[in-house]
Structure 1
């Protein structure tokens, strides 16, 4: 008999949708089907050659082999500060207002431990990124969900937050361009959010991995550009999306010293920093020209357009995303259960999508397509989906 050593924290971890979908994909492969995996937002484009070369050279440098303490991260912090200045005109202190992360997902979990105590209340978007809930359970926080509804442009209605909830709230989480809905937020919304959080002494956490993944003339605003934001907000950045470096696990947090300091204290007690070679690769990536980044985004835009055309030709309802690397589409009738739809689709056709309910109760009735394959593969996936819908 095996002893179960699970803590209450471990038992509180939500069942991961990726594990369920992985099992369904395995069933499809066992049946001899070619899997088209559009369920995970992991870029299939290569990292920048400049980043790869920086990493290659670092592996020959003995100075990179030791533990990397905070002082060793200065080059990356300065590069991030330069990026903020060039992109948004923000002047940030690389010593006190920027902190490297081993990916923004790790940073988010440590941030909750640094800025909140067990029992504190957190305002989370619904639908929202599933890993938020695991981090919240680990930190022992009470959740109040903020509905993101299509009729409101998938922006939370801050005026609908009850006064007693606002008084108790410690943290509010936002993320635009949004995963999974692909919604974007105008600067005016961030101004409203900053005013709200300043008034109620709430830490505003803006998860910002899709800063570069925007289409047409749209530019994603940074919450830190709002006057007063450094007193109440922190922004999380990742190189996983903009520079296709998901496996490198590298990003950074930017915000006032009042939140970066506690986050650094928690991280310092739990982990060292990323391998210095990976940090040098990140610096090289951040020094890429905007035109190089936009060329990558143009490939995603072509995929978006091909996928939308294929879906809409078959009667699916999906709006045109201005940002992100997904298409958020309503389930076709008569389906109402997104989990049942996605699991059956994967098992029978090999096409893996993410069920909307995996992102929260307000995600039910939708599925998310990730733009991680070329247009012809996306079109083949839609053909299989259409045939599945006819047969079921």
Structure 2
């Protein structure tokens, strides 16, 4: 049996290696403290659940939901975005509900890239961004994100020969995995760069609410492109509202890009269950306290973990955003990030994400996901300390 050549791009990866390492650790009797996946352990807020539950009683919600049936959510999204960012949004042409932002970042390259076209991606970056380019037969040019540059790409370093073939750039701030934040000034530079080189500018924005220490909430890329000349932004309800399992998000931005993505989506699926969209509307219309409570929980967790790691002699930066800690490998460790994570889970049951899973630029780091209670995070740090003392 023969398969498409594109599958060669989806071979083994370090996350598959870590899944195997976790399974082997369980088989050896380890209790796993899984800090490797960014899947919130917090419950979906009760008003959202109540809205979805009520919809279940209505048989009219039980059938296929075509695009026109999503108009109430699209209108709610437009109102919410205008209130938050002061941007006028056309609910009919500039908004598209999605099955999470990952659907958007994976499918948009199919609408933008021809085989051989180049996409400019962050390195390190979220793996789904790479997968969508591979599906479209595109090529990836990694934009290095370095600590000395506040984990922002340096556009001047991109060679002209690459730009001549490039069709799109993907950014995502607050950033997974580095937890970096981008300023409005940086986005102005990015938008102008993409206009100058005729690039589609994609901004993946799942952590827009998860910012700590009273910092100003991060900007939307559309604030620097209010006429939506070249930009599209993706949002998910998975992080702010703990709705990961409900698979609900949206795209917002340039009408031509929204239309093109809609054509791809129409081939792949209809839409989610209508009750989920009603739950998303309830989320957008909920009081700010619902999101603020989630932010407070993750803020406490990151402080607990960073303090606990400091006590074992592993100094890591305190993140300013997201639900992660991005940590340079301990100075005493001489191997790579995958080896560290594999041995750590085998010896202690503590599972982390190796930095190399996010691209070559992630080597030398590991990512902690703050998806456990503070007491468990402290226990994980103690176990790591024991591991480091015996290696």
Normalised to the residue count of structure 1, the TM-score between the two structures is: 0.97
Query: 2:69 corresponds to which residue?
Result: 72
Check conservation: 2:237, 2:243, Cα contact below 8 A: yes
Partner of 2:122: helix, strand, or coil?
strand
Cα distance in 1, alignment partners of residues 367 and 6 from structure 2: 29
Partner residue of 2:17 out of 17, 20, 35: 20
Q: CA deviation at 1:336?
A: 3.3
Cα distance in 1 for partners of 2:115, 2:272 equals 28
Q: C-alpha deviations, 1:202-254, integer Å up to 9, x for none?
A: 00100000001111222111100114561111000000111111111110000
Partners of 1:94 and 1:317 in 2: CA distance: 47
Q: Report what 1:231 is aligned to.
A: 229
Q: Which residue of 1 aligns with 2:313?
A: 315
Per the TM alignment, residue 342 of structure 1 is displaced from its structure 2 partner at its CA by 0.3
Residue segments in structure 2 that go unaligned for 5+ positions in a row: none
SS in 1 for 2:228: helix
Q: Hey, what does 2:121 align to over in structure 1?
A: 124
1:11-160 alignment to 2 at 5 Å? 11-160=8-157
**What residue in structure 2 maps to residue 244 of structure 1?**
242
Unmatched 5+ stretches in structure 1: none
3-state SS of the aligned residue for 2:10? Answer: coil
Instruction: Report the RMSD for the aligned CA atoms in angstroms.
Output: 1.2
Preserved contact between residue 306 and residue 315 of structure 2 (Cα < 8 Å): no
Counterpart in 2 of 1:372? 371
Provide the C-alpha distance between the structure 2 equivalents of 1:186 and 1:82, rounded to a whole number of angstroms: 24
Q: Which runs of 4+ in 1 moved over 3 A?
A: none
C-alpha deviation, 1:288, in angstroms: 1.4
Deviation sequence 1:104-149 (CA, Å, 0-9, x none): 1111111111122111110010000112222221111011110000
What is the match of residue 351 of structure 1? 350
SS at match of 2:164: helix
Paired position in structure 2 for 1:268: 266
Aligned to 2:389: 390
Aligned residue number for residue 187 of structure 1? 184
Choose from 262, 283, 286 the match for 1:285.
Answer: 283
For 2:102 and 2:343, locate their aligned partners in 1 and report how far apart those are by CA, in whole Å. 29
Over residues 143-193 of structure 1, what are the superposed CA-to-partner deviations in whole Å (9 max), with x where a residue is unaligned?
Answer: 111000011000000111122322321000100000000000011000000
State the partner residue of 2:204.
Answer: 207
2: CA distance, partners of 1:226 / 1:387: 48
Match in the other structure for 1:334: 333
3-state SS of the aligned residue for 1:12?
A: helix
Aligned residues: 389
